[in-house]
Chain A
Amino acid sequence: MRHTISVLVDNKPGVLARVAGLFSGRGFNIECLSVNETLDPTVSQMTLVTRGDDQLIEQIIKQLNKLIDVIKVVDLENGDYVGREMALIKVSVENTKRSEVLSIVDIFRGKVVDISPSFYTIEVTGDEAKIRAIVELFKPIGIKEIARTGKVALTRESKERKA
């Protein structure tokens, strides 16, 4: 099963290498990874997506925790969370009606962020399913290039107000 794991780490040189090295050295796979600073500049947040059975995921989480620079590891799959990624998609508009592209962009609440005579660059954010869907729709139209961020994620707060 796929798991999205959030890892808080000390913002120090070499930390990414330690995490990446852990995955390659132990034969765990990373499907995607994003790293960013948090509100506290001494702390970075990594969001990584990996795949494995329960035992493997447990081992991955323990191994991450064992790294000296890792402050906290949360398996987001254990609760409810919001996960988003962003894609920039360069779509050919030469032989097609621009309106067709624009209507897809509209439906997916994307944005056209760059225009040239032959290409539109479209920005779209959403969960993986949404990104996959829009990519599929643009494919027959003609995608020149695509750039995607890794997933970023936050746990959902409880809907009820705390007493």
Chain B
Amino acid sequence: MAGDTVKLTGAQIFLECLQREQVKVIFGYPGGSVLDVYNHLYDASIKHILVRHEQAAVHAADGYARVTGEVGVCLVTSGPGATNTVTGIATAHMDSIPVVVFSGQVPTMLIGNDAFQEADIVGITRPCTKHNYLVRDVKELAAVIKEAFYIARSGRPGPVLVDLPKDVLRASDTFHYPEHITMRSYRPTYKGNKRQIVRAMEEMVAARKPVIYAGGGVILSNASKELTTFARKLNIPVTTTLMGLGAFPGSDPLCLGMLGMHGTYRANMAVTHCDLLIAIGARFDDRVTGDLNKFAPSAKVIHMDIDPTSISKNIKVDIPIVGDVREIIKECLTIISEQKIQKDHRKEWLNEIKHWREKHTLAYKKSTNIKPQYVIEKIYELTKGDCIVATEVGQNQMWTAQYFTFDKPRRLLTSGGLGTMGYGFPAAIGAQVAFPDKTVIDIAGDGSIQMNIQELATAVQYQLPVKIVILNNHCLGMVRQWQELFYDKRYSHSRFETHPDFVKLAEAYGAVGLRATKPEEVEKVIKRGLATHKTVIMEFVVESEEGVYPMVPAGASIDKMILL
């Protein structure tokens, strides 16, 4: 390694830092201001995936981060390269995904001069990053990179952008990577307050009608095992958010499925009627709560979250516990082991829930056309759930959430917070890079897939056997559904008059294309697609008019569901 007297250039320091952070792969795209880094990448051992659009680089890094729990890394050039990352960064920000984006910048001398390919990316991304930096001196570079990774992965994770002016990358300095960092202004709380935990435990043991409402925070803090043990020990039913799918086994009898706008009847009823709501790593998003005044109206609320701003933001919390939810649940478990748990008093409540389950379960009507829900059910059946699933946004996303059972965390990649169409495919690429031998499927709509379709070239180049499932309804299905229900069926600009031939398109990129147009072809196509060791598009021409149900109209109380 570099001795104290040896000087390295900024570009070398950058790569040296990535090595210290044990970065295995960079998703990137070169350009003028980062050519010095690319020059060293030419013979570096670190893997670089050349995407076809910088937005996809960030989504891929994000997908990589979601499946591995590590920090995803991107490298792009200044100006348009940097601005192209914004949607990816905002997506990661809304879902609290640890990603570090390195952007090139014009030389410090030229900053502010409207120089060629200059964009104030630090200014642009300030509201959609957890933090960001402009490195002005090569002497700061290593420390800033260390901080960037630390901030991205610690506390409530999130994206961090580091802007690297070209002259900083070319200047030299001795390399020193700080072992530790302490920041006086940033010290996340991990351990929950013991007294609050004891209070919460008393409520949780005593409650007659408790419900756990688990969000993405459970997955981010790797607390699924603890949550599962905890819920089973206390016999408390669990509903999860979209981001929380897989945080608790979907096939467990205590699992109520997803709640909220397209949640299950029993989940929404249980939350509406519970006497104790235990929110864990969730943030009371409007798609979950609907009308806030009628959300869990008679419940006491316990809220465990690492981010204090999430607590009492939308709903008043009775017992807040700030900390890492895994630490908190572990603490709860040690308290339980000292107590005798009496579960009988929950019997009535669980019966009531059973009754709701019998009254309404997820269902769709069969038809002579392919039903999108059927395709997803079949994928689940044929993979036995043993795969990583990415989704795009819209009906495809909601049907996946409803009809695919997630028993394990880090198996679902979906843009929950920002709802970014075009997220799923690049995210699936990132996941496949992380786990080359796992089955990775992107469940897509015919609209969303075209937002990052160019990444077929990336998948083919790196021989990533991602499986794209296009539920082709020839329209922007979710938009069409809202127009049907709330805009008098005035289908304004939500129908696609033309589409590429997706099978030929796959082939043109060097991938495999398959198509099913009738229900009886579905199974065959999925089997063939799953058996293909190449990038493959499976197109299912599905019923155009199908809707996602149940549905709670935006802003309504969540027990007022439009059922099917």
A and B, one complex?
Answer: yes
- Interface residues of A, Cβ cutoff 8 Å to B: 9-10, 13-14, 17-18, 21, 25, 55, 58-59, 62-63, 65-66, 68-71
B194 to chain A, nearest CB (A): 21
Given A68-B183, A69-B185, A71-B184, is A62 in contact with B309 using a C-beta cutoff of 8 Å? yes
Q: Say yes or no: B309 contacts A21, CB within 8 Å.
A: no
CA distance A58 to B123 in the complex (A): 27
Chain B: interface size category: 10 to 19
CA distance A9 to B126 in the complex (A): 16
B542 to chain A, nearest CB (A): 39
Complex partner residue of A9 from B122, B151, B185, B309, CB under 8 angstroms? B185
Q: Say yes or no: A65 contacts B308, CB within 8 Å.
A: yes
Q: Which residues of B contact A13 (CB under 8 A)?
A: 134
CA distance A55 to B127 in the complex (A): 22
Q: Say yes or no: B308 contacts A66, CB within 8 Å.
A: yes
A45 to chain B, nearest CB (A): 14
Q: Say yes or no: B185 contacts A18, CB within 8 Å.
A: no
B48 to chain A, nearest CB (A): 29
Complex partner residue of A68 from B151, B307, B308, B309, CB under 8 angstroms? B151
Q: Label chain B's interface by main secondary structure.
A: mixed
CA distance A65 to B310 in the complex (A): 13
Q: Say yes or no: B126 contacts A17, CB within 8 Å.
A: yes
Known: A17-B126, A59-B313, A71-B185. 8 other contacts (CB 8 A): A13-B134, A18-B126, A21-B126, A55-B316, A62-B308, A66-B309, A68-B131, A69-B185
Q: Does B174 contact A (CB under 8 A)?
A: no
Given A55-B312, A66-B307, A66-B308, is A14 in contact with B122 using a C-beta cutoff of 8 Å? yes
CA distance A69 to B185 in the complex (A): 6
A40 to chain B, nearest CB (A): 11
B548 to chain A, nearest CB (A): 31
Q: Which residues of B contact A25 (CB under 8 A)?
A: 127
CA distance A151 to B409 in the complex (A): 50
A73 to chain B, nearest CB (A): 11
Q: Say yes or no: B313 contacts A68, CB within 8 Å.
A: no
CA distance A18 to B312 in the complex (A): 23
List the A residue with the shortest CB-CB distance to B186: A68
Q: Say yes or no: A10 contacts B309, CB within 8 Å.
A: no
Q: Say yes or no: B312 contacts A63, CB within 8 Å.
A: no
Given A21-B126, A25-B127, A68-B130, is A10 in contact with B312 using a C-beta cutoff of 8 Å? no
A92 to chain B, nearest CB (A): 42
Q: Which residues of A contact B308 (CB under 8 A)?
A: 62, 65-66
Q: Say yes or no: A59 contacts B131, CB within 8 Å.
A: no
B43 to chain A, nearest CB (A): 35
B94 to chain A, nearest CB (A): 13
Q: Which residues of B contact A14 (CB under 8 A)?
A: 122, 126, 134
